[in-house]
């Protein structure tokens, strides 16, 4: 690929033009903390920029900033050749194999354009940096292959599914035989395992606290919850069997670990000699310790929480 001529990047500068040229000419290697890109989705649309003259009046002329109608032509062929002859061996093999099964068509022109820019974005990211690529189901599976090749499969962090709307206008009445399209995809990759990540949090609900933090320590008034210490799967899962507080079970911890928890006052038996022992995790330290997942994302059944990695049902 073309060698960058970038020196020190200017602060607080908005660059206008082809982002591939901007990256190569103006953005130094390992200088960027975070990349979010929302490229065209191969959706057969044109995007125009309306210019104003110095008086502030709208100009009658418009230019196309970029065209989201990709065609395989000389530009795509030239970019493909650069990727396969001047890029890394991994990228060259990947893009060549992709062309062999996708073909020299509009989709491949789009993917070649994206691959060239993702190579440069990988270069400019700091070791602590991250990249979020917003796309849709039309090409997300291809783009993930490209990102896995450039960043490495182990640098894939998350696939975020963004729910665009609560209702979708479908075409069932017109004979459609598929579900309505209601989501986009955001692919999250890290430049290295040392990437910077700052989770955001939201308050627990009163209903959640009432349902799960049912216990209060008399001496301090601090709330806590209990978690079963029974080993799931019993002997079949390799859980040790022994007696604790008069109760013999398959436990999730070794006997030594159980003793350490007992010495630390972290074991509670709700009914003496009858019920299984339960672990008391760290106290509820704050009412704002539930990891926030934006409501427009689809959430999994459990959301990891701080400070003790329990989970709140979605």
Q: What secondary structure, in 3-state letters, does the chain show?
A: CCCCCCCCCCCCCCCCCCHHHHHHHHCCCCCEEEEEECCCCCCCEEEEEEEECCCCCEEEEEEEEEEECCCCCHHHHHHHHHHHHCCCHHHHHHHHHHHHHHCCCHHHHHHHHHHHHHHHHHHHEEEEEEEEEEECCCCHHHHHHHHHHHHCHHHEEEEEEEECCCCCCCCHHHCCCCCCCCEEEEEEEECCCCCCCCCCEECCCHHHHHHHCCEECCCCCCEECCEECECCCHHHHCCCEEEECCEEEEECCCHHHHHHHHHCCCEECCCCCCCCCEECCCCCCCCCCEECCCCCECCCCEEEECCCCCEEEC
Query: Rounded to an integer, what distance in angstroms lies between the CA atom of residue 74 and that of residue 53?
Result: 34
pLDDT over 90 (residue 51): no
Phi/psi for 125 (5° steps) reads -70, 140
pLDDT over 50 (residue 119): yes
> Which range has the worst mean pLDDT, 54-58, 100-104, 219-223?
54-58
For residue 48, give the nearest of 35, 38, 57, 60 by alpha carbon.
Answer: 60
Pairing type for strands 125-135 and 183-190 reads antiparallel
What tokens appear for 231 in the block?
């080993």
CB contact set of 254 (below 8 Å; sequence gap of 6+): 240
Q: What is the pLDDT of residues 236-249, one digit of tens each?
A: 989 999 988 888 88
What tokens appear for 141 in the block?
């599976």
> Which range has the worst mean pLDDT, 40-49, 123-132, 190-199, 249-258?
40-49
Query: Rounded to an integer, what distance in angstroms lies between the CA atom of residue 109 and that of residue 86?
Result: 18
Helix 89-102 vs helix 106-124: angle between axes, to the nearest 10 degrees?
160
CA distances from 48 to 40, 117, 264 (A): 13, 21, 66
Q: Is 154 helix (H, G, I), strand (E, B) or coil?
A: helix
The pLDDT confidence band at residue 84, using thresholds 50, 70 and 90, is very high
Whose tokens are 């040392």? That residue is 194
Q: What angle do CA 161, 155, 298 make, to 5 degrees?
A: 15
Q: Domain residues of the chain, as ranges?
A: 19-51+60-167+180-190, 226-279
* Phi-psi map region of 87: left, alpha, beta (phi>0 left; psi -120 to 50 alpha): beta
Superfamily of domain 19-51+60-167+180-190: Vaccinia Virus protein VP39 (3.40.50.150)
- Contact between 147 and 184 (Cβ < 8 Å): no
What tokens appear for 240 in the block?
């040790």
- Contact between 230 and 287 (Cβ < 8 Å): no
Query: Rounded to an integer, what distance in angstroms lies between the CA atom of residue 55 and that of residue 129?
Result: 41
pLDDT of 272: 56
pLDDT of 194: 96
> Which range has the worst mean pLDDT, 108-112, 191-195, 300-304?
300-304
Mean pLDDT in residue range 91-119: 95
pLDDT of 117: 96
pLDDT of 262: 85
């Amino acid at each position: 690929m073309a060698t960058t001529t970038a020196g020190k990047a200017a602060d607080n500068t908005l660059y206008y033009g082809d982002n591939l040229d901007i990256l190569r000419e103006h953005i130094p290697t390992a200088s960027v903390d975070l990349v979010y890109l929302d490229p065209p989705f191969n959706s057969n649309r044109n995007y125009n920029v309306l210019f104003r003259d110095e008086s502030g009046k709208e100009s009658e002329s418009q230019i196309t900033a970029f065209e989201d109608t990709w065609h395989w032509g000389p530009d795509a062929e030239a970019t493909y050749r650069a990727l396969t002859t001047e890029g890394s061996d991994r990228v060259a093999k990947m893009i060549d194999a992709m062309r062999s099964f996708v073909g020299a068509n509009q989709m491949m022109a789009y993917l070649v354009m994206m691959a060239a820019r993702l190579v440069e974005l990988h270069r400019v990211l700091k070791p602590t940096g991250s990249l979020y690529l917003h796309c849709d189901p039309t090409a997300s599976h291809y783009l993930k292959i490209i990102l896995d090749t450039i960043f490495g499969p182990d640098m894939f962090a998350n696939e975020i599914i963004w729910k665009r709307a609560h209702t979708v206008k479908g075409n069932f009445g017109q004979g459609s035989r598929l579900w309505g399209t209601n989501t986009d995809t955001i692919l999250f990759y890290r430049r290295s395992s040392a990437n910077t990540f700052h989770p955001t949090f939201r308050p627990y609900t009163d209903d959640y606290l009432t349902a799960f933090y049912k216990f209060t320590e008399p001496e301090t008034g601090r709330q806590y919850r209990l978690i079963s210490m029974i080993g799931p799967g019993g002997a079949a899962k390799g859980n040790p069997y022994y007696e604790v507080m008069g109760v013999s079970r398959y436990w999730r911890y070794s006997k030594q670990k159980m003793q350490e928890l007992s010495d630390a006052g972290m074991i509670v038996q709700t009914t003496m000699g009858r019920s299984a022992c339960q672990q008391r995790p760290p106290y509820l330290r704050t009412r704002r310790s539930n990891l926030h997942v934006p409501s427009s994302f689809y959430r999994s059944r459990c959301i990891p929480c701080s400070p003790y990695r329990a989970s709140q049902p979605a």
